[in-house]
Amino acid sequence: MIVVTGGAGFIGSTIVWRLNCLGENNIIIVDELGSKDKWKNLVGLKFQEFVFKEDFIKAIVNDTIDFKIEAIIHMGANSSTTEKDADFLYLNNFLYTKELAKYCINKNIRFIYASSAATYGDGSMGFEDDESQLENLRPLNMYGYSKQLFDLWAKRNKILDKIVGIKYFNVYGPNEYHKGDMRSVVHKAFEQVRLTGKVRLFKSLNPDYKDGEQMRDFIYVKDAVEMTLYFLEHRDKNGIFNVGSGKARTWIDLVTALFNALEKPVEIEFIDLPEYLREKYQYFTQANLNKIKSAGYNKPITELEDGVNDYVKNYLLKNLYLGY
């Protein structure tokens, strides 16, 4: 069995979808569904069983798993960059991941986990997935720090040569609909255009960037999953790897691609950056992909315009999920 934690979530359900496309149905999904529409991500997917997160971690800790696990792809985490409950993030994003990692190491099970580009903080240390520099990174929020905590623990315990950590940059695409304020700007902008005909973007407070020209590394979820599953196939490749497009683009580029996909004129309103975000706002992110390419990954990465076009026309406009 392949276990996908967070398998009903955004990236997790896309991983299950892609595994299904590759003919793999021996999958256990671990997650919690809550009261929103997260369950819709599962409709149409093929898997053997859904296990509640709390039941799974108890079985891991007590070593009572009653099926053979080939790999755990650990996407389960609280992904809110604005979450203020530090204890919850520590428990959910660090301690939980640590227990899974220890189990996998002891049982010789492939372990792939989600780290985050949020660990890079303001980017002053660059965006190279160089494990020798982990201690020098300074995340800007507790979410990023909770991810860095595990990266550092894995390094201290000398297991980074046995597992894979994925530092996801700005992922967008189908099956993110349940994420509320943590949805990509593509999805938020799509709703804004339908309601008002225009998109609202934050003004820049950095003189090096004009309004709307703040830059991010946007990666289509289908590409992010292809890059992740490369490490399921290649067990000899281990360590921490960036997963992004490798090409920073502006917010104006992003919403222009959206307007073009909708065949509507570009209408942007610039609004003030909220006070609570000002000290934590990233003006530039760009994944250095040299390491993952050196590990042998060589598939082409979807251009922003093409990814947004596919997302809008084949999913958002049709109100479809992957697997439907």
Residues forming the active site: 143, 179
Pairing of strands 164-168, 239-243: parallel
Count Cα atoms within 13 angstroms, Cβ side, for 173: 26
Using the structure block, give the residue that is written with the tokens 């003189």: 207
Joined together, the tokens standing for residue 222 give 């289908």
Residue 102: how many other CB atoms lie within 10 Å:
15
Q: Which helix (H) or strand (E) holds 218?
A: strand 218-220
CA distances 45 to 19, 59, 112, 238, 321, Å, are 10, 24, 21, 28, 10
Look at residue 73 and give its three-state secondary structure. strand
Joined together, the tokens standing for residue 193 give 């255009």
Amino acid identity at 98? K
Amino acid identity at 9? G
